[in-house]
Amino acid sequence: MTAVAPQPRAVDSPPSQWRWLYRAPYLTFPLVLVGVVVTAWVPGTRAPLTAGSVLLLNIIALALSVGVAGRAAIDPATRRAWRMLSVAVVLLGVSGIGYGISLRGGISFGTSLTVGMVGRLLAVPVLLVGLASLPMRPASRRDLQRLGLDLTVLTGVGAMLLWYFVISPALVHDVAAETLAMAAFPLCDILMIISIGAVLLRGATSARRPLILLLGAQVAFLLINLVIGRAAVTSADREQPASTLLDLLLVFAVFLVAAAAAEQYHAAPLNDPESDVAEWRSRPLLSLPYLAIGVGSMVSIVAAFHAGPHPWGGLVAAATVVTAAFAARHALAAHENSRLVRTDSLTGLANRRRLRDNLDRAVARSHRTGEPVAVLLIDLDGFKEVNDEYGHEAGDAVLLHFARLLDRQVRAKDTAARLGGDEFAIVVVGVDSTGAGALARRILDAANEPISIGGRRFRTRASIGIAVADTPGIEPRELLYRADVAMHRTKRRQSHDWQLFAEEHLPEDEQPEVELRRAIQKGQLRVLYQPIVDLVTGDLAAVEALVRWDHPTRGVLGPQAFLPAAEESGLINDLGRFVLAEACSQMRGWRGMLPDGRSLHLSVNFSPSQFARPDFAQDVLGIVDRTGFDPADLVVEITEGALVDEELVVPQLEALRARGVRIALDDFGTGYSTLYQITRLPIDVLKLDRSFVMEINGGRSSNAVAEAVVRIARMLHLDTVAEGIEEPSQAAELTVLGFKNGQGFYFAEPMTPDAVRTLISAPHLQKA
């Protein structure tokens, strides 16, 4: 693949002759601020100084706006926007002059006020046109929905302010129409705030800081006009509220307009709009609607404390709109957050988590109904070279193109996902291997069509691996693994093609896992039973369930031939469930054959990895309940190796004992158990390891471990079982030492269910 990333433009500095102008707002404002404060105590000086300061800052703002509109280093769209904003600055200046002249002579509807009002009204559409010209990031339908709700909140709060400060008092005081026209000024400010807020929330890509300053200026203008508007409709003589604070606020507002132009003039042109948008999304101004909610709440509180005779209708209506929009915004945000958690941020496809969830459901449905499920794993060939040679922007463009291609190829009920990097996957339901292959071919053909990115044309190449859930019991993880094996096989061929998984594709060391899975599914495993005998009476006390594999080519295999593969692959859990369910069902059938007064226990060994599962005890008890087996007749064997993680294992053992299940510590003496541990563990039986039984020969030293185990068991009131008894002398010595039960080839090898059935009817076990 070939692609090219756009080259950034060189960033130039402002010409030296303009640098003084860029600094002018920041140099002028502190001086004006001090002057206004100082002259507050000098009669007749504050008003001229304020008017002159506003005029000076307006001239600076206009000069900078014109400079921005003509600066070649700024992108054309932003320059066009600032041409209109320059006109808006002129209109706002004219409006301020006319408004100010009118206020100095008392609030009256005359020529100067008319000029101010017309200037402010004309500034609104001019500002809107300028803002609409700014470059902004692309917006999805959800973005526009979110923006609409945010603007509804801003509009509602603006209406609350206008109602409380101007309209409601005007209705109470029965003011003249020309006085009520004063509401046009704060109304224009609210419209400008909403317009600037819309651009900021939408995500402007080239005028972020200047827009924030303009927003601050309009908020300051709004505060001034709300105070003056309220005074106009409530004061009998309609005098201007003289306030140094209002003058300072007016100077500050005009300064922010000039500073916005200065910031835009000095700002370097953006080279990576996408990164700018990503940065913008973390900006505090995303909380603008929430700040507006706070303002609206404060207005409601103040209105409640100063209720008086003011009408509440408009305030309540606006507050209702704000509340409804805010609730809808939260619902939309909750839905969006839920979607984002399950969506790839770059491509918009499902992410790995969503793919696994959908695959789990599809496979579970396949187990119930037999509906086929296919997984296609796709890797883009040569993608690393695109990233290395042309940059990540070009690489992202390739990924977006391929994601859209996949989205067009799949049905609504299928799932297309990006797993990470250049790896994609598709879960297809109701499609067999033929249909999955046809889909893979359509994807490869569509990807082969040339595309243009960064002015260069190239073709996308891919390798696809396919796996189909065509056998009962296959797990989602295994299905993904098979697709991955098939995909890497075709990738090694460098054929840019698709490959259907076949078991011969697996490495040789993974063949046992596949064969074992098939053995579980096809019933090739069987359970044998080794008798556990009462050493004193010779009666059958229990049987231990042992699994064997009737391999179709290798004959009968003992557990040492396949348990390691089961442990590594996680199949040990399925294997354990099979053995327990089979043995419990078999034992339930033998229960009626036992002579009166006799009981028969079932002993089943579980590995440490099975005990590590949090639901192990629940799983065991569930099988016992489903088969109708008495839990009091079950002995669960645990090796000392499983006791390393006591915090996890002990609660499992306690849950089993609570239902009557007995716990045996298998291979005792070979692991990590200490006497202290044994006293704290919920166990009932100690099983002496066969290695110590083999050393028994009647001598004191050879019997030491066996004798110690018996003493420990007696102190803790535990039963004992000796494993691996192969000689009559061993059985006799263990009986003398005090062992209660024993098992081994001396008594019997593992038996088939039919042999056990015959044995149960015998009064005593015949020695082998």
Residues 601 and 647 grouped into a single domain: yes
CATH code for position 465: 3.30.70.270
Q: How confident is the model at residue 21 (pLDDT cuts 50, 70, 90)?
A: low
**pLDDT of 368 above 50:** yes
Q: How confident is the model at residue 278 (pLDDT cuts 50, 70, 90)?
A: very low
Query: Which residues contact residue 34 at a Cβ distance below 8 angstroms, ignoring those fewer than 6 apart?
Result: none
Query: Which residues contact residue 404 at a Cβ distance below 8 angstroms, ignoring those fewer than 6 apart?
Result: none
- Under 8 Å between Cβ of 400 and 463: no
Task: Classify residue 636: in a domain, yes or no.
Answer: yes
Nearest to 289 by CA among 139, 151, 136: 151
Q: How confident is the model at residue 288 (pLDDT cuts 50, 70, 90)?
A: low
- Regarding beta strands 423-429 and 451-453, do their DSSP bridges make them parallel or antiparallel, or are they unpaired? unpaired
Task: Classify residue 448: in a domain, yes or no.
Answer: yes
Q: How confident is the model at residue 622 (pLDDT cuts 50, 70, 90)?
A: very high
pLDDT at residue 689, rounded to an integer: 85
Helices (H), 570-722: 572-590, 608-611, 616-627, 646-658, 675-680, 690-693, 704-716
In this prediction, residues 472-488 reach a mean pLDDT of 84
Residues 214 and 326 grouped into a single domain: yes
Task: Classify residue 12: in a domain, yes or no.
Answer: no
Residues 231 and 322 grouped into a single domain: yes
| C-alpha span between 468 and 407 (Å, rounded) | 21
| C-alpha span between 218 and 61 (Å, rounded) | 15
pLDDT at residue 191, rounded to an integer: 85
DSSP string, 353-396: HHHHHHHHHHHHHHHHH---EEEEEEEEETHHHHHHHH-HHHHH
- Under 8 Å between Cβ of 404 and 424: no
| C-alpha span between 701 and 698 (Å, rounded) | 9
**pLDDT of 127 above 60:** yes
Cα 270–273–277 angle (5° rounding)? 120
Task: Classify residue 413: in a domain, yes or no.
Answer: yes
| Count of H-run helices and E-run strands, the chain | 29, 16
Classify the phi-psi angles of 411: left when phi > 0, otherwise alpha if psi is within -120 to 50, otherwise beta.
Answer: beta
Pick from 340, 373, 388: which residue ends a domain? 340
pLDDT at residue 671, rounded to an integer: 57
Task: Classify residue 331: in a domain, yes or no.
Answer: yes
Residues 524 and 603 grouped into a single domain: yes
Q: State whether residue 465 is helix, strand or coil.
A: strand
- Under 8 Å between Cβ of 722 and 533: no
Residues 357 and 328 grouped into a single domain: no
Q: Which stretch of 178-192, 246-260, 463-477, 559-573 has the lowest confidence by average pLDDT?
A: 178-192
Residues 216 and 357 grouped into a single domain: no
Query: Which residues contact residue 503 at a Cβ distance below 8 angstroms, ignoring those fewer than 6 apart?
Result: 511, 514
Residues 259 and 114 grouped into a single domain: yes
Quote the percentage of the chain above a pLDDT of 90. 21
- Regarding beta strands 525-534 and 423-429, do their DSSP bridges make them parallel or antiparallel, or are they unpaired? unpaired
| C-alpha span between 366 and 347 (Å, rounded) | 29
Task: Classify residue 563: in a domain, yes or no.
Answer: yes
Task: Classify residue 346: in a domain, yes or no.
Answer: no
The helix or strand, by DSSP H or E, that contains position 149, with its residue range, turns out to be: helix 141-162
Q: How confident is the model at residue 767 (pLDDT cuts 50, 70, 90)?
A: low
Question: pLDDT tens for residues 83-124?
Answer: 888 888 888 777 766 665 655 554 444 565 677 677 778 888
Question: pLDDT tens for residues 388-440?
Answer: 777 777 788 888 889 999 999 999 899 999 988 889 999 999 999 999 999 99
More confident residue, 443 or 518: 443
Q: How confident is the model at residue 386 (pLDDT cuts 50, 70, 90)?
A: confident
Pick from 290, 313, 340: which residue ends a domain? 340
How many domains, in total, are found in the chain? 3
Residues 387 and 270 grouped into a single domain: no
Residues 494 and 641 grouped into a single domain: no
In this prediction, residues 619-631 reach a mean pLDDT of 94
More confident residue, 143 or 754: 754
What's at 136, amino acid-wise? M
Q: Which stretch of 455-464, 485-494, 693-702 has the lowest confidence by average pLDDT?
A: 693-702
Question: pLDDT tens for residues 505-524?
Answer: 565 545 666 678 778 877 88
Question: pLDDT tens for residues 679-689?
Answer: 778 889 999 88
pTM above 0.85, yes or no: no
Question: pLDDT tens for residues 205-235?
Answer: 566 788 888 888 888 888 888 887 777 777 6
| C-alpha span between 757 and 587 (Å, rounded) | 10
Pick from 471, 506, 541: which residue ends a domain? 506
In this prediction, residues 474-497 reach a mean pLDDT of 85
pLDDT at residue 12, rounded to an integer: 47
- Under 8 Å between Cβ of 358 and 428: no
pLDDT at residue 428, rounded to an integer: 94
Name the token pair of 636: 């669960």
**pLDDT of 180 above 70:** no
Helix axes 646-658, 616-627, angle to 10 degrees: 20
Average pLDDT, the chain: 78
Q: How confident is the model at residue 768 (pLDDT cuts 50, 70, 90)?
A: low
Residues 530 and 497 grouped into a single domain: no
- Tokens 């005007």 map to which residue? 170
| C-alpha span between 213 and 207 (Å, rounded) | 10
Task: Classify residue 711: in a domain, yes or no.
Answer: yes
In this prediction, residues 141-150 reach a mean pLDDT of 74
Residues 603 and 746 grouped into a single domain: yes
More confident residue, 155 or 627: 627
- The CA R_g of the chain, rounded to the nearest whole Å, is 42
CATH code for position 642: 3.20.20.450
Q: How confident is the model at residue 302 (pLDDT cuts 50, 70, 90)?
A: low
Residues 139 and 213 grouped into a single domain: yes
- Regarding beta strands 456-458 and 451-453, do their DSSP bridges make them parallel or antiparallel, or are they unpaired? antiparallel
Domain that includes residue 395, residue range? 352-506
Question: pLDDT tens for residues 552-583?
Answer: 767 788 888 888 888 877 788 889 999 999 99
